Structure 1
């Protein structure tokens, strides 16, 4: 699963069904290359063949993972090397997606109505592990309600677009122990 092309293919197939030929054109590779990787992704259970959507030899593929709900421990099960490579390829793809949108806005390529809603939010919050679990559960439930509003397979109404909603919540690395002050409080620099 660590091949970077595979994470791109899963991403595109989560947005809309596609054939190997269509994917090859979008990714700038041969249809033989995409066909090989599609079979591997199908074996891994990351994509499905929409048999009733194809015509003749053209198989139409789709990723039912419009929402990837990976817990960090789920990614550990992919193995140290393969899991790490897949995680990094996936995160790189997500960040590139956000950067490309920002570039399109800067170049004036996004219509005004699509520049009003997008947001890039980052917040550092202090939580217990239980609060983090509850917070992420609430965010996943909110996203699930919105995901089920429209069917990505059947196509879109003319005024809709696929929207990349990204959410990650994780504890930051533990800071080295701060020097203790005379009053018993930790010395927190910058506050």
Structure 2
């Protein structure tokens, strides 16, 4: 079993690179598997010049990489690069980074909600146990800021234990989206 990549914190320039709307869409398509700039352009309704440029920018910051084993002639294939990205603490972010991060986080929630709705529409047609695969929990507890940080660290350790490389997964496996969220109750 392949181990998860080491955690790394993004610098402000990398944060800017990944928050660009088209780059986020490119990463979304590539999360399903490798593609060429031409295939991405067609899937996203963009021109190849735009997808090529944004792929190079994503590669510059280590979000995507070449998949040379898929190349045929001049065709260049791209895939996401496995990373365990951590964001700087809010208190350590610049005002500009906070705006970028907040926008990216909002867009990420909207994207996840859209995918959750699509899953709900399609789930009864899925094979095997997959229709039952919407697992969720909601609760609350009393924690100090230090305990909440430890909770997060424990969660990330568990998540990393189940991380799989593309070539190290079962043929029956599906990509499962997981979002962990914890915040102080604003009513308290």
TM-score in terms of structure 1 length:
0.72
8 Å CA contact retained: 2:36, 2:77: yes
Q: Who is 1:160 aligned against?
A: 173
**Unaligned ranges ≥5, structure 1:** 177-191
Name the SS for the 2:155 alignment partner.
Answer: helix
| Greater Rg over alpha carbons, structure | 1
Indicate the structure with greater helix content. Answer: 2
8 Å CA contact retained: 1:51, 1:59: yes
Aligned-residue offset at 1:122: 2.6
1:108-127 → structure 2 map (5 Å cutoff): 108-127=124-143
- Structure 1: distance between partners of 2:88 and 2:142: 20
Indicate the structure with greater strand content. Answer: 2
**Unaligned ranges ≥5, structure 2:** 1-16
Please report the RMSD computed on the Cα atoms of aligned residues, expressed in angstroms.
2.8
Aligned-residue offset at 1:117: 2.8
Name the SS for the 2:132 alignment partner.
Answer: coil
Moved over 6 A (4+): none
Q: Who is 2:42 aligned against?
A: 25
1:56-75 → structure 2 map (5 Å cutoff): 56-65=73-82, 67-70=84-87, 72-73=89-90
8 Å CA contact retained: 1:7, 1:86: no
**Larger RCO: 1 or 2 (CA < 8 Å, sep 6+):** 2
Name the SS for the 1:79 alignment partner.
Answer: helix
